[in-house]
Amino acid sequence: MTEPVLSVRDLRVEFDSRRGTLRAIDGVSFEIARGEVLGVVGESGAGKSVTGAAVIGLIDPPGRIAGGEIKLSGRRIDDLPPEELRRIRGKRIGVIFQDPLTSLNPLYRIGDQLTETIRTHLPLSPSAARQRAIDLLAEVGIPAPEKRIDAYPHEFSGGMRQRVVIALAICAEPELIIADEPTTALDVSVQAQIIALIKRLGRDHGTAVMLVTHDMGVIAETCDRVAVMYSGRIAEIGPVRDVVQEPLHPYAKGLMGAIPTLAGDAPRLAQIPGAMPRLSAIPPGCAFHPRCDYAFGRCRIERPEPLQHGTQQVACHLFDAHSTEHAA
């Protein structure tokens, strides 16, 4: 039971381009336990989606997993043949993408998309699969599911469509759900409902959830742990309370400064000046050093490795025992 549902060790993902190999993910490690929600935050291009795609084996050429290992409930899956990986996708790992408007095939009734997925993964008769589809639609909160099952995607609102997408993701009772910005494309008014639904489903079924989002409020409310990504690496990872209230990594501090705090103390680093480097121009040493207020000599030369610091893991020289003299 102590085996994490998902365990990623030293993952590296590379894209071959005309101008050489670009490393989009560079040594990412994390775990998600049963029933746990891991939030993943970071600026656009940090590698959140690529990490999710790597876990489900959907890195398309010219990209490839260049190193590391991915384990699902203790069994390695990153080296499986494509056909076996396909059988895991949708069955043991459910995926929710950002835009429900484009995630569903416009020419298929949602019932057909559901039963097709169900029957791909479970040995059910067409009528049993249809019944399961109706139950799933009811579970994700679609009213009158036995009628709506025969509707086409365009007949649903954005929020309802995302519920259908969620029903598709959970239709074979997956151990892990990867939700990549599931509410970014939705109306603000329905965002909270969708997040609550994902959280409830995760809790009810003991599913591990990897929740990628830009919304620090969602992280604070929904997640058990949070990983802050920067330039293809995890800058800091730890329990949500600690990372949000007492971020250690200078980049995480900058991000958290963007959340309005109850105490009302004005965040000093509300935004971080500058932009994340492109993959082709990642600086040596710590990728964050050109933007970091605390950067010192070593940061420009040596790359900081993630080290345990209290409940958190931080990749920053400030928290390395060898450079205590610089600690903040």
Partner 1 sequence: MLAFTLRRVLQAIGVMIVVGALSFTMFRFAGDPISQIVSQDASSAERAEIRKSLGLDDPVLVQFGRYFINAARFDFGMSYRFREPVAKLLLERMPATLELATCATVLAMTLGILLGVYTALRRNSFLATLLSAVSLIGISLPTFLIGILLIYLFAVVLGWLPSYGRGDTVRLGWWTTGLLTTSGLKSLIMPSITLGLFQMTLIMRLVRAEMLEVLRTDYIRFARARGLTTRAIHFGHALKNTLVPVITVAGLQFGSVIAFAIITETVFQWPGMGLLFVQAVQNVDIPIMAAYLLVVSLIFVTINLIVDILYTLVDPRLHAGAARRT
Ligand X SMILES: Nc1ncnc2c1ncn2[C@@H]1O[C@H](COP(=O)(O)OP(=O)(O)OP(=O)(O)O)[C@@H](O)[C@H]1O
Which residues partner with 94 through β-bridges? 177
Residue 247 interacting with ligand SF4 (CB under 6 A): no
Which residues make Cβ contacts (< 8 Å) with residue 37, sequence separation at least 6? 199, 202, 208, 209, 211, 222, 223, 224, 225
Which of the residues 56 through 95 are near ligand X (CB under 6 A)?
A: 63
Of positions 47, 153, 250, 257, contacts ligand X by CB under 6 A: 47
Peptide bond into 62 cis (omega under 30): yes
Residue 317 interacting with ligand SF4 (CB under 6 A): yes
Q: Which stretch binds partner 1 (CB under 8 A): 89-97, 189-197, 220-228, 295-303?
A: 89-97
H or E element in which residue 189 lies: helix 188-205
Q: CA 15, CA 62: separation in Å to the nearest integer?
A: 5
Is residue 12 a contact partner of residue 233, using CB atoms and an 8 Å limit?
no
Of positions 11, 37, 39, 49, contacts Mg ion by CB under 5 A: 49
**What residue has token string 């969708």?**
194
Report in angstroms how near the CB of residue 277 gets to ligand SF4 at its nearest.
13
Is residue 179 a contact partner of residue 210, using CB atoms and an 8 Å limit?
yes
Of positions 5, 11, 14, 15, contacts ligand X by CB under 6 A: 15
Is residue 123 a contact partner of residue 91, using CB atoms and an 8 Å limit?
no
Residue 318 interacting with ligand SF4 (CB under 6 A): yes
Of positions 73, 246, 294, 307, contacts ligand SF4 by CB under 6 A: 294
Residue 316 interacting with ligand SF4 (CB under 6 A): yes
Residue 153 interacting with ligand X (CB under 6 A): no
Report in angstroms how near the CB of residue 115 gets to ligand SF4 at its nearest.
50
Residue in 73, 67, 49 with CA at minimum distance from that of residue 11: 67
Residue 168 interacting with partner 1 (CB under 8 A): yes
Q: CA 130, CA 282: separation in Å to the nearest integer?
A: 50
Read out DSSP for 86-152? HHHBTTTEEEE-S-HHHHS-TTS-HHHHHHHHHHHHS---HHHHHHHHHHHHHHTT-SSHHHHTTS-
Residue 152 interacting with partner 1 (CB under 8 A): yes
Of positions 54, 140, 237, 279, contacts ligand X by CB under 6 A: 279
Residue 162 interacting with Mg ion (CB under 5 A): no
Of positions 15, 97, 156, 288, contacts ligand SF4 by CB under 6 A: 288
Q: Which stretch binds partner 1 (CB under 8 A): 2-10, 113-121, 218-226, 312-320?
A: 113-121
Is 120 or 323 the residue whose CB approaches ligand SF4 more closely?
323
Instruction: Give the single-character DSSP code of 281.
Output: G
Report in angstroms how near the CB of residue 51 gets to partner 1 at its nearest.
14
Is residue 237 a contact partner of residue 307, using CB atoms and an 8 Å limit?
no
* Residues making contact with ligand SF4 (CB under 6 A): 249-250, 286, 288-289, 292, 294-295, 299, 304, 316-318
* Residues making contact with partner 1 (CB under 8 A): 56, 58, 86-91, 95, 97, 99, 102-108, 116-117, 120-121, 152, 154-155, 165, 168-169
